[in-house]
Amino acid sequence: MRIVRTIAEVRAAVGDAKAADRSVGLVPTMGAFHEGHLSLMRAAREQTDLVVVSLFVNPTQFAPNEDLSTYPRDEARDAALAAAEGVDILFAPEPAEIYPDGFATTIHVAGITEVLDGASRGPHHFDGVATVVTKLFGIVRPDVALFGQKDAQQVLVVRRVVRDLDLDVRIVACPIVRESDGLALSSRNVYLDREARSQAGALNRALDAGEAAHQAGREIVPAALAVLAEAGIEPEYLELRDAETLEPVARADRDALLLVAARVGAARLIDNHLLTGIPA
């Protein structure tokens, strides 16, 4: 595996692969790898010939009051894990390589970015995500880009950008990887102390309860909220939304996402379940 820092080096490596008719897979990440990240790398390894992983803690998607400066960083460990998954290129640029002086363009997706995490974290968040992902697509020119369903709204935003800007890349969403108690793996789980860690399992249990209520034809959101309340967690949001448009829905008679965000101890955590539509 090669670790490269410049756009020119990535372009050269990808150019060679494309000239040899090899397909290119991209896994965008912010590092601090866990099994969730590794599952994306494995899927990329299975589906494409040249696997590029980007490791970039993207400053523009953090609000001033968020955890940019404390976000966990360990490039040496990440590089070893990526190499063990058969990744070909780890692209780990400095911020100035991505945002040189004079950088002035923002990709803004309207509508679906204004709710849920867009409302909680502010509009800069998905602007930052859409802009950096579009840049990475321009730099790497992947045939396939892989994202985790853990960040369900992010997947929808990226799909919207690809459709609206006619980008020639196939987006693959991979299943959420969880701990044994159901907690979705996240780089931010390191912020959880013992008490918060045991509390955090309630997020997935709440979504399970919502899913069970859906299957039983009962109200979904109250069932999920009850589990959170019992665990002493007050969510930033817990909502049922159409799985494509993110419009609020009362029932999952079409595919719907049950999404939650909550502060647990020192971490802000998100999770979601896809509820398969049961026509009324």
C-alpha span between 209 and 24 (Å, rounded):
40
Bridge-based pairing state of the strands 235-242 and 256-264: antiparallel
Q: Which positions lie near ligand AMP, rule CB under 6 A? A: 29-30, 36-37, 39-40, 147-148, 150-151, 174, 176-177, 184-187
Shortest approach of ligand AMP to residue 27 CB, angstroms? 7
Shortest approach of ligand AMP to residue 128 CB, angstroms? 11
Specify the 3-state DSSP secondary structure of 2: strand
Question: Residue 12 burial by CB count (10 A; 0-12/13-18/19+): exposed, middle or buried?
Answer: exposed
Among this protein's residues, is 37 annotated catalytic?
A: yes
Cβ atoms of 207 and 271 within 8 Å: the answer is yes
- Give the nearest residue (CB) to ligand AMP: 148
Shortest approach of ligand AMP to residue 188 CB, angstroms? 8
Shortest approach of ligand AMP to residue 204 CB, angstroms? 11
Question: Residue 99 burial by CB count (10 A; 0-12/13-18/19+): exposed, middle or buried?
Answer: middle
* 210-241 as b/e: b if 16+ CB within 10 A: bbebbeeeeebeebbbebbeebebebbebbbb
**Spatial CB neighbours of 249, under 8 Å, sequence gap ≥ 6:** 240, 241, 242, 256
C-alpha span between 7 and 139 (Å, rounded):
6
The residue written with tokens 């995490």 in the block is 117
Cβ proximity to ligand AMP: between 177 and 228 the closer is 177
Tokens of 137: 């697509």
Cβ proximity to ligand AMP: between 145 and 223 the closer is 145
Cβ proximity to ligand AMP: between 60 and 187 the closer is 187
Cβ proximity to ligand AMP: between 21 and 180 the closer is 180
Shortest approach of ligand AMP to residue 273 CB, angstroms? 13
**Count, residues in the chain:** 280
Cβ proximity to ligand AMP: between 150 and 268 the closer is 150
Shortest approach of ligand AMP to residue 219 CB, angstroms? 28
- Amino acid identity at 273: H
Cβ proximity to ligand AMP: between 10 and 184 the closer is 184
Q: From the candidates 37, 125, 214, 273, which is the catalytic residue? A: 37
Residues with catalytic function: 37
